[in-house]
Amino acid sequence: MTGARPVLAIVHDDSGIVPMVLAATARERCDVVWIVDAADLEQPATVRLLRKMGTVLDIAGMTHDAAAEALGALGPGGIFVHADATLALGAALAGRLGLAFHDEDTVARLTDKPAQRAALRRAGLPVPRWAVLPAGAGAAEADAALADLEFPAVVKPTAGAASRDTVYLEGRADLHALLAQEPSRGGIWPAMVVEEYLAGAPRPDPAFADYLSVESVVVDGRVVHAGLSGRFPPAEPFRELGLFVPAALPPDAVGGVLDAAGRAIAAVGVRFGFCHTEIKLTAAGPRVIEVNGRLGGAVPEALGRATGLDVLGLAMDVALGAPVPFDGPVPTTRVGYFATAAAPRWARRVERVDGLDALSEFPGVESVELKRRPGDEVDWRQGSLGYVYSVLGTAPDHEGLKALKRSMAEDVVITYA
């Protein structure tokens, strides 16, 4: 009998999870309809790849109504979106087809930082003061917009991700200097949010950062936290260097962090899907930095390695209507990590990379991938995704993770120009 397998609509996004990885996870549980806007693809050959791994629905030029009608004819039982840029499309299609996903208003709060901060504040969560700079703002306009703000502050695009173009501002002069430069993608500066900087609490272990994220699954408004992901101290100014699970958090601090994440998810209005909620540990308690309405980057890899959970498979199963098979953070048996190395802020190009073979021999390392080859340009403004290489693996505990970081620092030599 055909048609017994459920059909999952996956919205393709070049910046999200690699299609081969998604297809490998889907293979044992469902058929896939890939929703693609072929006119928007960075790499046109992607369509040929996707056709090998399912049905391709090219929605280029279609209205949401037309796209939903075409998708509905293919009988999807769920929809899966793995990148911020396609959350709105996913919501538009899901809403028209009655599929469980964020609604369009929720996506607006998930992807627009000022709208999200307003929602958090309305719900009574402590949020730093912020102001919005309109696109293309000059120094005078910025000064007027920030008249009530205190420094230091952080500026970032209102719709940005991965710390792209995110900068620490000691004072107004720093902002003026920034606006006098060109943004990383060229053109004029997009609309940006400037918010007062949240100082972190003193760190018990300087090897780990003063912020973390909570990975949660939401079904019918019920929030279940799957785990907590720790961070390494970021590269200047705010470039993340990967993540690890479990976070190095004292047990008595976990409850407050989970509570803050749960309140933030409810405040934003999320009722279905995965959330990746970033939280800063301050002297006054946990403070929500941001709620993301999708799986966090590298979370499936790190959380999966730490717990044995097939995180991507779970996300697909939940999208297809399955219940969440646990009630709270999944016990960890080791540390799963995805660690990256960033170029210094002054660097413009990679000249040489030595020592990756030695790093790959470090106990627990599963893979080492070079992202910026000799000759490739580097630019700190690209944020967390502009890293030079990455390491994926496991460590027996946080001390083992620190040893891995020492090996990255000592065994790998990168020469820049």
Partner 1 sequence: MDETIRSVLAEHGGLAGETTDLGDDDDLYRLGLSSHATVNVMLALEDAFSIEFPDEMMRKSTFQSVAAIRAAVTEVMGEQ
Binding site for partner 1 (CB under 8 A): 14, 18, 20-21, 23-24, 27, 42-43, 45-46, 48-49, 52-53, 353, 356-357, 360, 367-374
The residue (of 14 and 174) whose beta carbon lies closer to partner 1 is: 14
Phi and psi for 207 in degrees, rounded to 5?
Answer: -75, -15
The residue (of 2 and 220) whose beta carbon lies closer to partner 1 is: 2
Q: How far from 270 is each of 52, 111, 173, 262, CA to CA, in Å?
A: 33, 12, 38, 10
State in angstroms the smallest separation of the CB of 313 from partner 1: 15
State in angstroms the smallest separation of the CB of 300 from partner 1: 14
Positions of E strands within 18-141? 31-36, 55-58, 78-81, 130-133
State in angstroms the smallest separation of the CB of 355 from partner 1: 11
State in angstroms the smallest separation of the CB of 21 from partner 1: 7
The 8-class DSSP code of residue 363 comes to T
The residue (of 370 and 409) whose beta carbon lies closer to partner 1 is: 370
3-state secondary structure of 196: strand
The residue (of 333 and 367) whose beta carbon lies closer to partner 1 is: 367
CA 251 to chain centre: 25
State in angstroms the smallest separation of the CB of 411 from partner 1: 14
State in angstroms the smallest separation of the CB of 351 from partner 1: 11
State in angstroms the smallest separation of the CB of 410 from partner 1: 18
Burial letters 377-399, b for 16+ CB under 10 A, else e: ebebbbbbebbbbbbbbbbeebe
What CA dihedral angle connects 76, 78, 82 and 86, to 10 degrees?
60
The residue (of 42 and 252) whose beta carbon lies closer to partner 1 is: 42
What CA dihedral angle connects 161, 165, 170 and 173, to 10 degrees?
-140
* Residue among 342, 334, 355, 354 at smallest CA distance from 401: 334
Positions of E strands within 12-135? 31-36, 55-58, 78-81, 130-133
The residue (of 245 and 356) whose beta carbon lies closer to partner 1 is: 356
The residue (of 36 and 218) whose beta carbon lies closer to partner 1 is: 36
The residue (of 21 and 39) whose beta carbon lies closer to partner 1 is: 21
3-state secondary structure of 156: strand
Phi-psi domain of 21 (left: phi exceeds 0; alpha: psi -120 through 50; beta: other)? alpha
Whether omega before 152 lies within 30 degrees of 0, making that bond cis, reads yes
State in angstroms the smallest separation of the CB of 373 from partner 1: 4
